[in-house]
Each structure stands twice: as structure tokens, then as C-alpha cells.
Chain A
Amino acid sequence: MSTTTYLVIAAAVLVFIVIFQIAKASEYVSVLKGEDHSRKQNNRINGFMLLGFMILGFIGVWYCNKLLYKTTLFPQGSASVEGEKIDEMFMITTAVTGIIFVITQFLLFYFAWKYQEKEGQKAFFFPHNNKLELIWTVIPAIFLTVLVVFGLKFWFRITSDAPKGALEVEIVGKQFGWIMRYPGKDKNFGRTYFRVISDENNNSLGQVWENNDSLRLTADPANYDDVVTTTTMYVVKDRAVKLIINSRDVIHDVGLNHFRLKMDAVPGIPTTLWFTPKYTTKEMKERTGNPDFVYEISCDQMCGNGHYSMRGIVEVVTQEEFDVWMAKQKPNYYVAKPEKDPSAAPAVADTTAKPAAIAAVVKK
């Protein structure tokens, strides 16, 4: 390992010295031959290279797209109904900017090559032309108006209120993981307060479920049936889901790439986001041909040294599967206080793992 390192360094230094010596020598040559002569020669070479750069550049753009298009999310399509609009907007913008890109880059390099210094060529004195300037003020303005109109139409649709009957899920970020809460049978989230958060007592969100005189809190009965899980969020295909987004410590971001959405999680300021999943996870495995496919929640806002590992999962299932899954969940109140659990089942094997997992993340 170290010998190769030395070899690489030695080779790099050698290349450096060679380039430097050549450059020095070429300067002496140019002085000998006459600076005017060498300048003209350099001009021809660079004029040619600029044209070559343009041609190879356009081929490169095409080739890059051919090579990498399949690595993007577009071939599989948006996994949410709302995301389709974003893909549409993307394609409109790509078309408009693509045309401008090709025209302007072509003109830049073509003019450079065409009007390079030549014997007897005189530059054309052309300081201004109001008509031309008006044209390229108005045309971009029209293009941009179109983009703004489409963009805002989609923007207001996406940021509008979630439809009635949407599944509500609270998602809370913390260093470095996600906590999800479902409102339970009463369809109401119980009140939370950050001062009663206690990972040890299995109250990772600070649900106010008992009276606290020093903090002047009264227990909120809506908390008794709220279900709390970590990492994986279950949502239903073709049913709008509204996320209520929060953070326990620093700013995080709920990044939902397959659904084309994201929203920051800001401590103290809840945000919301809603979307309608189009395909179950199972269907996506088939669509992408990837048996390991999962919808991932990526934290998209720098949140500390574990930022890159803050991964969550969205499991899109059918309504029946969701109901079955939900029926198996125990409200967090009973997980924290098994003695209050009316069903008082002796076996709570799957829930005991949770506090340990949270504690481990917190320690990190």
C-alpha cells in the first residue's frame, strides 16, 4: 500500500516537472520565433480546441444521459399522485432550459471559433442595438412566466390542505432516527410536551398521560390509545396520508424521494405534508425489478455526525394489511405502563426491544 502511494506521488511529481519544463521551453521558443508568431499559433490551436470541446461536450451530455438516466427515479415514475406533477414540471423545465442551453453554448463556442483572430479581419464596431436587447428581455420573460404559472399551480396543489379522511401520522426526528405516532381509535393525537420526554420510561415523545403539578399539566386521555413506533412508517396505498412533522432536538428533514417530497422537521414548529401513495412496497419491488426495494426516508437536513445514518422506511400496504398490522400494535401508554393494560397479556415480547433500541441511538 505505502509503496504504491510513494510511486503515485513520485509519478505525479515527475509529470509536474515535465509539464513545467515543457512550458518553460515553449516560452523560450516563442521568444525566439517571435511572440506574434507564437501568439497566432496558440490562437489557432485554442480556437480549434474550443470547437472540439463543444462537439465532444454535446456528445458527452448525450452519453451521460444515456448512461445515468436509468439511475434516477424517473424510469420508475413517481410513487405518489402528487409527485407526478413534480415530474411533469421537471420535464417542462428541462425542455425549456435544454433548448436555451444548446443554443447559447453553441453560439458561444461557434462564435469563438468563427471569429478567432485572422490576418486582415476587422472587428465589427457594434456597441448596442435596442431592438435586439428588447427581444432577449421579452423572450426569456415569456418563458419564465410559463414556468412560474405551471410551477405555482403545482405548488399550491401540493401545499393545499390534505383531503378529508386522510390517514394522519406524526413523524418526529431525533439524532439519529425517526419516531412515528398514530392517533389510535379516537383519531386524535394526545397532547405532548417536551419536558416529560423520557426514553427510559418509554415516553419518547413526551405524551402527557398523567398529571404533573410542577409543570401544570393535566393528563390528556387522547394519549391512551396513541400508537408509537420507530423507523418504519405504515401507510396505505391510494389513501392520502398527512404527516405531522416534528423534531425533538435539531432540524431534520423528512425526505421522501420516491414520492418526490420533503419537509423540514423543526423543533418547536410543527410542519405538515401530505401525499397519496400509488404503489405498495410489494408492487414497487416488481416495478423496479429490485427484490430489496424499500421506500426510504432520508434525513435531508444536516443534523450532526450521524446525519448519513438517519434512515427511516415507509411501508406502503393495502388497507386490509394496514388494519391487520394496526390491530397488532399496542398503544404506547400500555407499553410504558403494563399495569394499566386492561388486556394485561403476559407476553409483550415484540415491544421490549423498543426502549433498548432508542437508548442505543441516544447514546450514540
Chain B
Amino acid sequence: MSSEATHIQQQTLTVPHETHVEIHHDHHHETFLTKYVFSQDHKTIAKQFLITGMFWALIGGLFSVIFRLQLGFPEAKFPWMEILLGEWAKGGQLQAEAYYALVTMHGTVLVFFVLTAGLSGTFANFLIPLQVGARDMASPFLNMLSYWFFFTASIVMLSSLFVQTGPFSGGWTAYPPLSALGEASPGSKVGMDLWLISMSLFVVSSLLGGLNYIATILNMRTKGMSMTRLPLTIWALFFTAVLGVLSFPVLFSGFILLIFDRHFGTSFYLSDIYINGQALPNEGGSAILYQHLFWFLGHPEVYIILLPAMGMASEILSVNSRKPIFGYMAMVGSLFAITILAFLVWAHHMFVTGLNPFLGAFFVLLTLLIAVPSAIKVFNWLTTLWKGNIRFTPGMLFAMGFVSLFISGGLTGIFLGNSSLDIHLHDTYFVVAHFHIVMGVASMFGMFAGIYHWYPKMYSRYLNNTLGYIHFWVTMIGAYLIFWPMHYEGLAGMPRRYYKFDIWESFKHFGTLNQFISIVSIIVFLAQILFLVNFFYSIWKGRKVTTQNPWGANTLEWTTPITPGHGNWSGEIPEVHRWAYDYGKDGKEFITQVTPVDDSESKH
């Protein structure tokens, strides 16, 4: 009796508007605008992030197809390209300035708008309240703002594509002086200003989101949901948010200094520059300072992208193996270790900038240290599969694909993190292959796994399975065909960000391979369109979900109604009695977190 009373008390304490939600639902009429546009429901905001992210993935992917056509077929003429890009593809041939603009935008868009906002924005919003047992985020209003800052950032970035001097074209890392001087490149004129404005808005969005995620996870867990009972998705999203909150402001400071250098005559990054027949007045700045500030975010950013994918893969592997995740505490510990180390390795991007070799040695050590928690995670995932009873849903296949790609791309990181090897491999296609596999494709796979797995909860319908399987196999095979041979180009020293290679005696023998890679990447791109068709078709026409818990999963989101309203649970928020991974325990297929612990249960 008394425990029930304290339960209600605690609920009202943590979620003050809990009871309102019930009442509101009956008579409060939501307009289209408040329900779908300026929604404060975390589930709707998650979908907004997802669909905006998908829009950007389509744009970013299309850009890569266009510049891959240039790399694979530098002599060919594509009249349709001129129709699409105008001056940028005079006579059907992509111009160098357009090539660099597309490469830069591809990187910026995919790293920030797709794999940061689209991935952690979507799943942090969707899963945190549902899996910790909360009605909504700590501040639904800030959450809404977070999306609209992202949306504004998107508009500004999109508009930069249409300015006369073109969007920024100096690479997604935007190193000054190239990014600071309009004289150095047409893309560094107004395009760069728009890039900086857009990215600053993006930083605001990600901070608003991140603070909200942290506050929700720490303060709004339902009764019984101790931190060590949280599903690994939530742990991963928690560390992701911590990384973002601590490192994005540093990037922002780097941007502020860059804006000052561009417009207010300061010399933070500029010194000794003679350009366009003129010596600039700046003296005493350090171009390397920007790289420190940039990579202080830039490296954690890699984990901001990767951790949510790790968390979701852990959850999905466990659910579909019908087995608990192996070594839950080790998984949390390794996430924590990765988070800490992520802040201490940024200078491994700068081994060849003239960094003090003694200092570099520490960064080598700390960088290779990351391989230890990564290895723990991989072996734990493998042991989770061992002696399971595995169901290959499309989500499960993508989660396994994630593990495979994470292994492949992670191992090449051991080459690059070692400074003496990095001297040779830095800024070659080896790096391109490495980070596309481990950060790009692997995280994309984590995202796809999440979408296939939680789609029934998002839209109360299933995605088409056959299309899902086709999507998986084409993408999986294609990803390896594209990026595996690319390592060999890197081993020949072929530099990245080259518009063409015809004048280079050392690199021109890769013509056929480049063609092959380009063709495969177009096929993989088309497979993604198939996924998009599946996604949007299934929102309205997909097979309906008829059971509350279609995957037989333990976590709280499957205790909500099939179509949860704003507030998630129609009655009280359920109480949690156990961790999320009691699969196959005592001969039971699964035991949800809300099932009270039986006295006869075995202990582990």
C-alpha cells in the first residue's frame, strides 16, 4: 500500500505534468501545426530529425555519385550534369571548383547533418524517454528548439549551394588559411560565411539536444530503473551527449576566431601570407591552432557518430539472438573508456603538421589504447551471438553488418594511429577507406539497424522485409567492394581530394579501379533509394503491427500501446524490476523489465 503511494508521489515529483497528459488527451484538440510541425512530442521530433537526416543523406549521397563519376570517368561527358549543375559542369564535365564544393559538402553534410543529427538526434529523441520510462524529455520545448535550430542550419547550408561563388570548397575540416581567405578559393568567399553560420546554428542545436538528453537520462528514469538497469542504447546515447556537450563548444570557439580572422582583421590563424600578388597584414597567428580546436571536437565527433550505433547494435544483437548481451558492465565500462579517450587523442590527426614528436608519442599511445575497449566490445558482441537462437530480421542483419564493418575499419585505425605509419598513409585513400568503413558505413548500418528495429514503434507498421533484405545485401557487399580496394590506392600513396590524376605518373594506373568503385557506388546509392521508397511507402501502406511487442523484447518501449500518444503510456508509467537482458533465463524466452523478480529465479 505504502509503496504504491510513494510510487505515485515520486512520479508526480519527477514528471509534474504526468496527470495533465491524460486529461488533455481527451478534450485538448491539437492542431496540425502543434502536432506535426512545432511538436513538443519527442517521438515526432525524432521523426523530424530522421526525415531531415534522410533528405540530407540523399543530397550528400547524390553529391558523392556526381564526384565519383568524375573520378571514375574523368574524360566522359554527361550532358545531364550540365542541365543539373549549369556552369559547374560546363560541357557535361564537372569543373574542379564544383568537384571540391561537392566533396566538401558531402563531408559536412554526412558527418554533421546525417550521422550526428540524423542518427543521434533521431534515436536519442525517440528512445530515451521510451526506454527510461518517461513521458517526454526534460524540456520538450528546448527539444523542439533543438530541431528548429538544426532545420535553420539546414536551410542556411542549402542556400550556400546557390550563391554565385559557390558553397565552401576547402574540405569539411575547413582548415585556415584556405578557409579564412576569399582570395585563396572562390568557395571561401560568401559560401564560407554561410557554412560558418550554418555550423554555428548546428552547434546550438546539438547543445540544446545534448543537455536535454543528459538531464532526461539522469533525472527522469522511472521507478526501479537504476543506471545499471538501463539498456545499452541509453548508455551509449548518454555518453554521446556528454561528448557533444563538452566538445562542440570548443569547435564553436574555433569558428568564432575564424569569423574574426575573416572579417575583423585579427590574426589568430594567419601569418606570413602572400596571396594574389599581395602580402597580407597578418602576422603572428598560428594556422595549427585551428586544427587543435577543430580536432578537439573532430575526434570526439567520430564517437558521437559511432556510439549510438554501438548501443543500438548491442540491443538489437541481444534481442535477436534471444540471449543477454554478454558482459553488460564491461560494455558500459568500455563505452566510458572510449568517451574519456576520445578527448585525449585529437592530435593524431596532426602527426604531420610539424607537431613535436615527443608530444606525438603520447597521442600514439592513447590512440592505440582505444583499441582495447573496442576489442572488448567486439568480443562481447561475438559472445552474444555464440549459442544464441538467432533471428535474421533486417535490423539484425544490419547490426551484424555493423560489427563486421567496425572490425574491418577499426583495424585499419591501428595503422593510422601509429604515427610512423601515418607519415606515409596520412591524407591518402587509405584514410578515406578507413573512416568511410568505420565511421561512415558502420554508423550508417547502426542507423539502418535502428530504423528497421524501431520502425514498428515509430509508425505502427512494418517495413517490407524483402526490400529490407535486398537493401542490406546490396549495401553490405557494395560497401566492401567500394572501400576494400581503396586501401590499395592509399598504399600507392594516392592523395585524397584530387580532382583527377592524369598528370601523375605515380597514380594514373588506377583508372580501371576508380571506374569499378564509381559503378559500385552508384548501385549502392540506388539501393538506398529503394530503402527510401520502402520507408515512405510503409508509413501509409506497410503491414500493420498487431502485437504490442513484435520482437519479444524486454525494454520499456514495447510496453506502450501500439501507437503511443504524447505521454507514451496511457496509464501509469510501469515500474522496472530488472535489467533489460533477461533473454532465455530459466527456460523463459524473454522476461520484460516490468516483470517482478520471482523468488525462484536463478541469480546471475
Contacts and interface: CB of A to CB of B under 8 A. Distances in A.
Nearest to A298: B495
Contacts of B436: none
Interface in A114-148: 115-118, 121-129, 132-133, 136-137, 140-141, 144, 147-148
Contacts of A300: 426-428, 495
A152 interface: yes
A145 to B, nearest CB: 9
B423 A23 contact: no
A267 B402 CA distance: 41
A82 to B, nearest CB: 9
B184 A304 contact: yes
B328 A305 contact: no
A74 B491 contact: yes
A296 B505 contact: yes
Interface residues of A, number: 124
B130 interface: no
Contact of A250 (B96, B178, B476, B510): B178
Contact of B421 (A47, A86, A296, A299): A86
A196 to B, nearest CB: 8
Given A26-B466, A147-B368, A298-B504, A255 B387 contact: no
B266 interface: no
Contacts of A31: 543
B328 A128 contact: yes
Interface stretch (A227-235, A307-315, A321-329, A336-344): A307-315
B604 interface: yes
A2 to B, nearest CB: 6
B458 interface: no
Interface in B293-333: 321-330
Contact of A147 (B170, B178, B414, B505): B414
Interface in A61-96: 61, 64, 68-69, 71-74, 83, 85-86, 89-90, 93, 96
Contacts of B78: 5
B324 A125 contact: yes
Contacts of B485: 64, 68
A223 interface: no
Contact of A123 (B79, B171, B286, B388): B388
A47 B322 CA distance: 16
A141 B372 contact: yes
Contacts of A115: 321, 385-390
B181 interface: yes
B97 interface: yes
Contact of B329 (A83, A90, A128, A309): A128
Interface stretch (A99-107, A183-191, A349-357): A99-107
Contacts of B186: 305
B382 A83 contact: no
Nearest to B291: A251
A305 B326 contact: no
A127 B505 contact: no
A132 B327 CA distance: 10
A248 B400 contact: no
Contact of A127 (B493, B526, B581, B587): B581
B505 A266 contact: no
B265 interface: no
A121 B387 CA distance: 9
B326 A267 contact: no
B30 interface: no
A294 interface: yes
A275 to B, nearest CB: 10
B361 A144 contact: no
A123 B424 contact: no
Contacts of B426: 262, 300
B364 interface: yes
B379 interface: yes
A221 interface: no
A111 B415 contact: no
Nearest to A30: B465
B376 A123 contact: no
Interface in A262-287: 262-264, 266-272
Given A86-B424, A112-B390, A253-B427, A156 B361 contact: yes
Contacts of B328: 127-128
A31 B352 CA distance: 59
Contact of B385 (A83, A108, A197): A108
B407 A105 contact: yes
A111 B326 contact: no
B286 A133 contact: no
A150 to B, nearest CB: 8
Contact of B368 (A144, A175, A298): A144
Interface of A: 1-2, 5, 12, 16, 19-20, 22-24, 26-27, 30-31, 39, 42-43, 46-47, 49-50, 53, 57, 60-61, 64, 68-69, 71-74, 83, 85-86, 89-90, 93, 96-97, 100-101, 104-105, 107-109, 111-112, 115-118, 121-129, 132-133, 136-137, 140-141, 144, 147-148, 151-152, 154-156, 158-159, 174-175, 194-195, 197, 199, 206, 248-251, 253, 255, 257-258, 260-264, 266-272, 290, 292-294, 296, 298-309, 311, 362
11 contacts: A61-B484, A116-B392, A118-B389, A123-B584, A124-B387, A127-B326, A147-B418, A175-B184, A249-B274, A267-B271, A268-B284
Given A111-B382, A128-B328, A144-B414, 13 more contacts: A20-B533, A47-B390, A86-B424, A111-B385, A111-B390, A148-B418, A175-B184, A197-B274, A248-B273, A250-B275, A263-B354, A305-B100, A305-B186
Interface of B: 77-80, 96-97, 100, 169-171, 175-178, 181, 184-187, 270-277, 279, 283-288, 321-330, 352-354, 357, 360-361, 364-365, 368-369, 371-372, 375-376, 378-383, 385-392, 397, 400, 403-404, 407-408, 411-412, 414-415, 418-421, 423-424, 426-428, 464-467, 469-470, 473, 476-477, 480, 484-485, 488-489, 491-493, 495, 497-501, 503-507, 509-510, 513, 526, 529-530, 533-534, 543, 581, 583-587, 604
The 3 closest A-B pairs by CB, nearest first: A257-B493, A268-B271, A271-B354
